[in-house]
Chain A
């Protein structure tokens, strides 16, 4: 019984390997080369305190494409953020351990010292920059997830949302944006939008599938994945540009790690690795953002 299982799994694995071999080849090679590049070698000399260490990366692994379990092997996390973390690790010489927490717990986990960094599709807002320092790596594009056919005719975070119910995760930047619609909606003589707060993407998507919520606004890639999983029940109503960047969070007590990441990320982007990774995960390649520190006292 177990032999049969092992065999079929190995077949599955080799099949998966074969399929992914061609497009994945350059990405893997580049990542491996990274550690031996001159810049990375120099960084490892400049920041020896990270070399050989295991850093803890707090993630909210509910965003396929950025970070989620590998459906084929649930013992692993996969996604752009994971690949990016590994690339940073190979450049600076550290290895990584991932700790999954609720979205709202990402920064508290970092602040309590239970994690060294946060790479989890988190938007570097001014408020969050009070709790941690961020290094940007991507622009933000949101999508509006609605039930098939968009019965409430929602066109974005605007007056079309008056009187509708939005599902969001606790701590998401979209939460205050929806809340801010209350005044304009009232002024227009319409009911204010309602919010339902959840803990992860799955719950938000479920809220729409179950008819509890009308829309879920989040990263466009997450929205696309949800539509792909339920093509008969869900659709993307619109794309929204938000004035934020996605960033890597680092403790304010650790400016050296922050500076090291800025330099390593610059090298990763220069080598073309980030572009390849975004291609690999089907993300908008125009979104790449050069590493800038966002910090607020």
Chain B
């Protein structure tokens, strides 16, 4: 036991720790640097880049670290690259760690819900902003445990540098055991030293997890308690349910359904206005299945169009094509006269350029599943994009966010995370977010179909007000016939990617001419809102 403590405090072994940490640090820092590049390459849209990265990953993940160490140390000098043992060990460890770190990064990035990047793109974020502000902050939270693993692994793997004469802890231990014959005392001491080092890595991991925990308990004295292994996370506060159908939504005056004459006047006026959206011979296939074949549609400025049709008829895809979240095979989409997804010279735009174009033409989008940024408060969901995409100042963005939250009746929930809001509240925040930069065209993809029935009303109410007060051009895909009749100027009925009926809302809904439309309306009105088999 005395010998054990003697070796545990032996300066010679403690100095070995320094070298162990140096090799590990080189390995992890270098591994991260290479790993980030590798992950970016693996996720690249260009096939040959991802093939290069994949080849590297297969080779360096698939060969033993000890061979890589010996290669860097003993083979590179023959090529004229002479690295010191410490650097050679660090470089080999970095080359070996990189593919593992790259895969953690890739898994983390791919693990972020697809809707998050849809929403970011729809808000006009460039790929870089999207990665920096939306994807990375969410991915990092899921990646920390894996990084903790990788840190511990790297620390233990650094012991293989003993094979290339780096005087780290393991090499020092074996040499000491050889000269003193005190095998067990020496190895138990060095084992305990390793345990302390890896314990340090675990502590860093837990601190990082805590620091990034969006629901972390505030206040002092809780930090240590938080790190105890038997501590369990407090039950998450349940999302507060909206107590009434229209809680908080200002109802200043009851909205009266306009008369038939008023509608006709409005239609006539709209028809004289400029064209907002023009879809020309749009064709799109998923593999051998055709989604659209030569689809044509025009929407006038200020017009509100309801897209109706059974599930799978192409409503969502059409909306996603209009702001280029989806590509198509042939045909054109023009917003305000500009060809979506192409430069004025007809060249296909990159994702970042498309994002810029969305900002320029002023198109916003609302999603079925809200797609609020999960790591940002309600206010920040609105203010963030204003700052990052539109260059607003901190104050102006915050003020605008508060103003819009007040308007959708959520002024008191500004600091709440999306997951603590009810579905209806989340969609109201999403509406505020979509119109915040002053969008002229709003695409609404089944905005109420993911909501519990009692929350549908509050969201429709907000959209209805938007239609009246903001005079936006809107294209709404929906199953809510009554809402369509009240709000929409025009109804477009889509089935199997074809427009089979297109006319004034009241007319189409009360006197459908196409038998498919008639059947759909009949089924919907009889309350069978789901599984519409047509």
Contacts and interface: CB of A to CB of B under 8 A. Distances in A.
A105 B178 contact: no
Interface residues of A, number: 32
B87 to A, nearest CB: 12
A288 B428 CA distance: 94
A64 B70 CA distance: 26
Contact of B179 (A70, A111, A205, A206): A70
Interface stretch (B33-41, B163-171, B446-454): B163-171
Contacts of B10: 74
A3 B183 CA distance: 30
Contacts of B172: 74
A101 B179 CA distance: 15
A229 B178 CA distance: 11
Nearest to A199: B174
Contacts of A69: 12, 175-176, 178-180
Contacts of A105: 70, 74, 163-165
Contacts of A58: 165
B178 A62 contact: yes
Contacts of B177: 202
B181 A101 contact: no
A99 B13 CA distance: 17
A68 B164 contact: no
A75 interface: yes
Contacts of A199: 174
How extensive is the interface on chain B, given as a class? 20 to 34
A64 B178 contact: yes
A71 B74 CA distance: 30
B73 interface: yes
Contacts of A68: 175, 178-179
A216 to B, nearest CB: 13
A105 B242 CA distance: 72
Given A74-B172, A99-B165, A112 B78 contact: yes
A291 to B, nearest CB: 27
Contacts of A230: 181
Interface string A46-77: 00000000000010011110001111001100
Interface in B76-97: 77-78, 82, 85
B384 to A, nearest CB: 54
B75 interface: yes
A99 B178 contact: no
A191 interface: no
A105 B183 CA distance: 23
Nearest to B186: A202
A109 B175 contact: no
B174 A202 contact: yes
Contacts of A111: 74
Interface of B: 10-13, 15, 70, 73-75, 77-78, 82, 85, 163-165, 167, 171-172, 174-181, 183
8 contacts: A58-B165, A61-B175, A62-B175, A69-B180, A75-B15, A100-B171, A101-B163, A112-B75
Given A63-B178, A68-B175, A200-B174, 16 more contacts: A61-B179, A68-B178, A69-B175, A69-B176, A70-B179, A99-B85, A99-B165, A100-B175, A101-B164, A105-B70, A105-B164, A109-B74, A112-B78, A114-B82, A202-B177, A202-B178
Interface of A: 58, 61-64, 68-71, 74-75, 99-102, 105, 108-109, 111-114, 199-202, 205-206, 225-226, 229-230
